[in-house]
Every structure is written in structure tokens, then in C-alpha cells.
Amino acid sequence: MKLSMYGSRLRRVARRHFGWPSLRPGQFRPMRAVLRRRDALVILPTGAGKSAIYQVPAVLLPGPTIVISPLLALQQDQIAQLNERGDPRLRAVRVSSAETPKQQRAAIEEIRSGRGEFLFITPEQLSDPDRLAEIKALKPGLVAVDEAHCISAWGHDFRPDYLALGDMIKEMGRPPVLALTATASPPVREDIVARLGLRKPEVHVSGLDRPNLFLEAAYCPDEAYRWRRLTTLIDSLERPGIIYVATRRAAEELSERLVSAGYNASYYHGGLAGGPREQRQEAFAADKVDIMVATSAFGMGIDKANIRWVAHVALPDSPDSYFQEIGRSGRDGRPAHAMLLWRAEDEAIQRFFTGGAPDETELRDLAAALRAGPATKTALKDRTGLGPRKLGAYLNLLELVGAAVPGAKNRMTVPLFAPLPAAAAKAALREYERQQVVDRSRTDMMRGFAETRGCRSQVLLAYFGEKATKRCGHCDNCVTGVAERRPAASEPFAVHSTVRHLEWGTGMVMGYAEDRMTVLFDDVGYKTLSVPVVLENELLTRTG
């Protein structure tokens, strides 16, 4: 089929079934890849219409579309939007822990009988071999993996339940796969491709620069100054808005202080019971709450277009999570504001959250338990006494060092030539330490963003491996003219080329901002280097 034919068919479906007169930038090319039955990885910012990339082609593809997503609230919003159209070609159902067994059977039957097109499901449900066999029998035409960055240990929201998805998709009969995420740096992209087993995927990255989003950061010498800057921001902008804080206690205390000062505020964090969490989320979505003070637990899956500002009253752990969180504002295309109010003490909080190292004895015992024969995670949990989250993290480490591998029927097993348990545990600890170094480098990059006197968008885009050819004009440094005082340097190494440093080893050039370059090293993470110093001292050499 000619490419023009793909375009006309996709646009016709968008108009007829969804009421969209046109497709947004960044949507058409990945839609075309899906229609051509190609695997694809799509990185589009929050609010740019990622869901449409599988919804529109699904109408034209044979077989139902399976949508794998970790968030029940996000699933519910997407299902409601599809079913509200009253179009039988867009009928969506769900199988998750929120449905009774009877409701789950009814959902599968709707898909089987052709009365439903979209089946939303969580990774946990797919871990059941019987459920997986049911999905395979449906002969899906497409699998869409939402929030795909969750599969990557490099990602900012890693979820062990995502690790087996590649094998699960094979068990379904290996239909084409569409992986979707709002933000993914090159190593995360590579991890997604490898772990999902994508076959020569088309990779589409679009719109990481948000011109309608004004970026601002301010150093706060003390908490009193930070409070004044925050309330000045709130008073000067429209609402609603989100304030991100580092801890649950900080969310509660700041919310209480705002309410006492006369603001319509509430708080949200992972420690709340399910009922109150859902009520607060719904109140914010319905504009009954102007200001939500929250930890990072709030936001992923929030489908709210009119958020006018996002403030961070603490230094985020990485540019990855920062970019994801500020992307929740201005989704309607209108001007929005991102304010970072940071203190040097914030970094110590992030260091604290890295937690303690894995226990070598527990890792060794888990590696030994795997040698007893293929086992499900439930069986391994019973054998070792490890909790589900720790078990998932340990299995991921053992997998990375070649001591574990997903097998048939969602059972973990030991690969050929795997290290013995004691050696596997030591190697896993070394891998953990390497990851910690990389994580610390991300926090360093976040502080670099906060401190930069250059264009903030250029710094962010360099981190994500995207080239910025000019200053953005929508950050505080560009507007005040600070960013224009630093001369741009040459770009001696191509973006995404491989280089080597005598001390830090091999790395990838991520991008340039003013006279600095960002390099992601395999063993020590992100480093920002002065281009003139690199050239003068020959610090880097090309390796590819």
C-alpha cells in the first residue's frame, strides 16, 4: 500500500470514529508504522496524544488490541473516553484486580465475540498462565505497552512486574508491539527495545521541547524565602496547579500551611488509603481542589489539560522525573509555568532515598533457589521469604549479571553457564553499586539544570539526547538575557557518537548546551564537560 493511502485511511478513521479533523504532529508516522505491522517505540510528551497512535490504527487492523498499562486510574480514563463515543468499533473493556472474576470473564467474552476492540490489562494479570492463554486465543492484532519506561532499570519509574512482558508477548503469538512513553533517554530506549524484544522497531521521538511551558528555577537560601517565592507564584498565576515535594510528611505539612493561609489545597501521597487517594484525585480532576501538594506518587495517568503550573519545592531525583512531572501542565496548549524552588539540602534527601544496598546473603539464597528448577515469582517468594518488591529488584539484578532469565509459563530459571550463587550475589552487588553511581549522576544533572546560567531547554534536551539548535526563549535565563552571555562552542563529537575517557571509560555523547557537552558513561553515569577543556586536554577520543 502506498504511503499516501495509509495517510488517507488513518485521517478518515480519525475524523469518522473520533471526530478529530486532523492528526497532531508526531502521530502520523508511528500510526503508519503500526498499520504496516511494524514494531515501534514512540516518545511523545504528556498530552501530545500517545493513545491515539494505537487507537486509530486499531480500527483498521484485524484482531483486538491489547493495551498493557500499570495504572488502573489511567486505564479507567481511557476506557471511559472510548466508550463515551458510543461506537461499537471502539468498545473497550478491562481485566484487572478492580474487576470480579465474573466481570473478567465477561470482558474476555466481549472481545472473543467481537463486541469489544480494546482489552486493557495490567502486567500482573498477564503473569497468570491461564490468562495469557486466553489472550493468545483472542489472536490480538496489536499490543500497546503504555508507560514503557517502567520496563527499564535506567528509567525513573522502574517496575519489576514489567520485566517479563517481552516473554509474555511471545506467548500471545507475538503480534506487532507499540511501546509508548512520555520521556526516555537513549539508554532507556535501548532497554525498552531489548526487554520487549522489539523487532527492528521504528523509533519516533517528537516534541520534547514544550514552547508553551516557561521554565524557571530559583535558589532558596532558607525555607522562609522558599515559602515567599511559592506563594508569590501561586498568587500571580491561574489555577489549578501541582506542588511536588520530596516526602509524605512534607506533603501533609505544606498542604496544611497553605490551607491555613486561605488557599484551596489538598495533599496526595502513596501512604494514603486507596479510597482517600481516589477521592482526592477525582476532586482535583473536577476542579474542586485548586492546589495539589504531592509526592511523585501523584500524576502519572492524570488526564487533566488545564493545569497551569507545576512547582517543585525540592530538587527532583533526576531530569527524567522532573520532565515527566512538569509535562503535566499546559496540556491544552495554553501558556503554563514550571518553577523549581531548590535548596542545597534537597540533594541530601535524594541521597537518603537511594536506600540501603541489597543483602548479599539474600541474593545468594535467591540464586540458589533458582537452581532448584524453574519457578514462578510466587514460588520463589515462598522459598526465600522475600517480599514482592524486593524479590523483583533482586531478580532484575541477577538477570543483569546472567544468573537468572525468564522462562516458559512466566517461570524464572537459570541460564546456561550462569555463575554459581556466591559469585552471582557478588556480581549483583557490583551491578547495584554501578546503578547507584549512575543514579547519583542523575541527581547531579538535576542540580546542574537548577544552577545553569544557560538555556534551560538546551540543558534538558542535551540530557535526553536531543539536539537544540537555538536557545528556547521560554526559560528565565533566556528571557533575562543571562543565557546570551555565554558563547556557543563547537561540537567536536556527533550527538549519539561513542567516546572514551581515560578514567571514566566508554560513553555516549548526549548533546550540547552553550559551551558544555553532556556524556553518558556506561559505568559512572552522566557527566557535563567543558568543550574547550575537552579539546585542550584531549580528554575524549572517538570510538564509534
Q: Nearest 5°: CA angle at 539, between 538 and 543?
A: 95
Domain membership of residue 533 (yes or no) is: yes
What's the domain range around 284? Answer: 213-353
Q: How confident is the model at residue 94 (pLDDT cuts 50, 70, 90)?
A: very high
CA distances (Å), origin 148, targets 136, 283, 462: 21, 28, 21
Residue 461, domain CATH? 2.40.10
Domain membership of residue 446 (yes or no) is: no
Domain membership of residue 286 (yes or no) is: yes
Domain membership of residue 313 (yes or no) is: yes
Contact in structure between 496 and 509 (CB atoms under 8 Å):
yes
What values do phi and psi take at 75, rounded to 5? -60, -45
The Cα–Cα gap between 84 and 299 comes to 23
**474 pLDDT above the threshold of 90:** yes
Three cell numbers written together for 349: 534527601
386 and 528 housed in the same domain: no
**482 pLDDT above the threshold of 80:** no
Three cell numbers written together for 249: 510528611
- Each residue's pLDDT tens digit, 21-30: 888 777 888 9
289 and 345 housed in the same domain: yes
- Each residue's pLDDT tens digit, 169-186: 988 889 999 999 887 777
Element (H, E) at 218: strand 213-219
**223 pLDDT above the threshold of 80:** yes
Extended beta strands in 321-475, E state:
336-342, 405-406, 412-413
From the list 154, 172, 170, 150, the residue with the least C-alpha distance to 162 is: 150
Domain membership of residue 127 (yes or no) is: yes
- Each residue's pLDDT tens digit, 138-155: 999 999 999 888 887 665
365 and 296 housed in the same domain: no
- Each residue's pLDDT tens digit, 104-136: 999 999 999 999 999 999 888 887 888 888 999
323 and 378 housed in the same domain: no
289 and 332 housed in the same domain: yes
Of the three residues 157, 189, 205, the one that is the final residue of a domain is 205
- Each residue's pLDDT tens digit, 247-278: 999 999 999 999 999 999 999 998 888 788 88
**440 pLDDT above the threshold of 70:** yes
**90 pLDDT above the threshold of 50:** yes
Residue 85, domain CATH? 3.40.50.300
The angle that helices 360-370 and 377-384 make with each other, rounded to 10 degrees, is 130
All residues at 6 or more sequence positions from 240 whose CB lies less than 8 Å from its CB, including other chains? 284, 287, 289, 290, 291, 292, 304, 306, 307, 308
428 and 306 housed in the same domain: no
pTM equals 0.79
First CA to last CA across the chain, in angstroms?
Answer: 37
CA atoms within 13 Å, Cβ hemisphere of 475: 26
154 and 38 housed in the same domain: yes
Work out the mean pLDDT of the chain and round it to a whole number. Answer: 87
The Cα–Cα gap between 83 and 93 comes to 9
- Our count of domains for the chain comes to 4
Three cell numbers written together for 260: 491555613
CA distances (Å), origin 490, targets 277, 404, 463, 477, 509: 50, 45, 18, 21, 14
CA distances (Å), origin 66, targets 249, 293, 526: 39, 34, 36
Residue 396, domain CATH? 1.10.10.10
Domain membership of residue 447 (yes or no) is: no
283 and 377 housed in the same domain: no
CA atoms within 13 Å, Cβ hemisphere of 242: 31
Of the three residues 161, 178, 205, the one that is the final residue of a domain is 205
Of the three residues 161, 177, 205, the one that is the final residue of a domain is 205
201 and 219 housed in the same domain: no
Predicted local distance difference test score (pLDDT) of residue 486: 55
- Each residue's pLDDT tens digit, 268-322: 998 888 788 888 988 998 999 999 999 987 876 567 889 999 999 999 988 988 9
368 and 345 housed in the same domain: no
Read off the DSSP letter of residue 70: S
187 and 260 housed in the same domain: no
From the list 120, 179, 174, 125, the residue with the least C-alpha distance to 147 is: 179
CA distances (Å), origin 469, targets 25, 208, 450: 19, 14, 21
Three cell numbers written together for 118: 480494546
Domain membership of residue 439 (yes or no) is: no
295 and 400 housed in the same domain: no
Domain membership of residue 380 (yes or no) is: yes
